[in-house]
Amino acid sequence: MSAHGMARTDAVLDLIMGHQRLLLDPGGTHGDSCEHCRAAQRDKIDGHVRAGRAIPMLLPAFPAKSPNPDKVLGHLPDLAEELSVAFLEALCVRVGEVYPPGAHLIICSDGRVFNDLVRIPDEHVSAYQRGMSDVLGRLGTAHISLYSLDDVFPGTDPAGMRRKLWADHAPDLEALRDEVRSGGPLLGLYRGITRFLYEDAKIPGFRGSNATLQRESRRRAYEVIGRSQAWGNLLAAIHPDAVRLSIHPQPCGHEKFGIFLQDAGDEDRWLTPWHAVAVEDRGRFRLMKHRAAKDAGGRLVLRGGRPSHYVLAADHSTTSSKG
Ligand SMILES: [Zn+2]
3-class SS letters over 109-166: ECHHHHHHHHCCCHHHHHHHHHHHHHHHHHHCCCCEEEEEHHHHCCCCCHHHHHHHHH
Q: pLDDT 10s digit of each residue in the chain, 323 long?
A: 455 678 999 999 999 999 888 887 655 668 888 999 999 999 999 999 999 999 999 999 999 999 999 999 999 999 999 999 999 999 999 999 999 999 999 999 999 999 999 889 999 999 999 999 999 999 999 999 999 999 999 999 999 999 999 999 999 989 999 999 998 778 888 998 898 888 877 766 677 788 888 999 999 999 999 999 999 999 999 999 999 999 988 889 999 999 988 876 555 556 899 999 999 988 889 999 999 999 999 999 999 999 999 999 764 444 444 43
Ligand 1 mean position, distance from CA 62 (Å): 26
Ligand 1 mean position, distance from CA 249 (Å): 12
pLDDT at 208: 79
Of the candidates 133, 153, 130, 129, the residue with the CA atom closest to the CA atom of residue 144: 133
Of the candidates 292, 245, 217, the residue with the CA atom closest to the CA atom of residue 61: 245
Ligand 1 mean position, distance from CA 245 (Å): 15
Ligand 1 mean position, distance from CA 35 (Å): 6
Of the candidates 100, 67, 189, 88, the residue with the CA atom closest to the CA atom of residue 143: 88
Ligand 1 mean position, distance from CA 37 (Å): 4
pLDDT at 323: 39
Ligand 1 mean position, distance from CA 187 (Å): 19
Ligand 1 mean position, distance from CA 44 (Å): 17
pLDDT at 315: 45
pLDDT at 28: 62
End-to-end CA distance of the chain: 50
pLDDT at 21: 86
Ligand 1 mean position, distance from CA 240 (Å): 23
Ligand 1 mean position, distance from CA 274 (Å): 28
Ligand 1 mean position, distance from CA 13 (Å): 12
Ligand 1 mean position, distance from CA 101 (Å): 27
Ligand 1 mean position, distance from CA 42 (Å): 13
Dist. CA 195–CA 188, nearest whole Å: 11
Who surrounds ion ligand 1 at CB < 5 A?
A: 34, 36-37, 252
Ligand 1 mean position, distance from CA 159 (Å): 39
Ligand 1 mean position, distance from CA 23 (Å): 9
Q: Which residues pair with 303 in a beta bridge?
A: 306
Ligand 1 mean position, distance from CA 193 (Å): 24
CA distances from 10 to 16, 19, 188, 215, 275 (A): 10, 15, 30, 46, 34
Ligand 1 mean position, distance from CA 18 (Å): 12
All structural domains of the chain: 3-267 (3.40.50), 276-323 (3.30.60.140)
Contacting residues for 272 by C-beta, under 8 A, at least 6 apart: 61, 84, 247, 261, 287
Contacting residues for 232 by C-beta, under 8 A, at least 6 apart: 60, 244
pLDDT at 183: 87
Q: Is 133 exposed, middle or buried (0-12, 13-18, 19+ CB in 10 A)?
A: middle
pLDDT at 312: 93
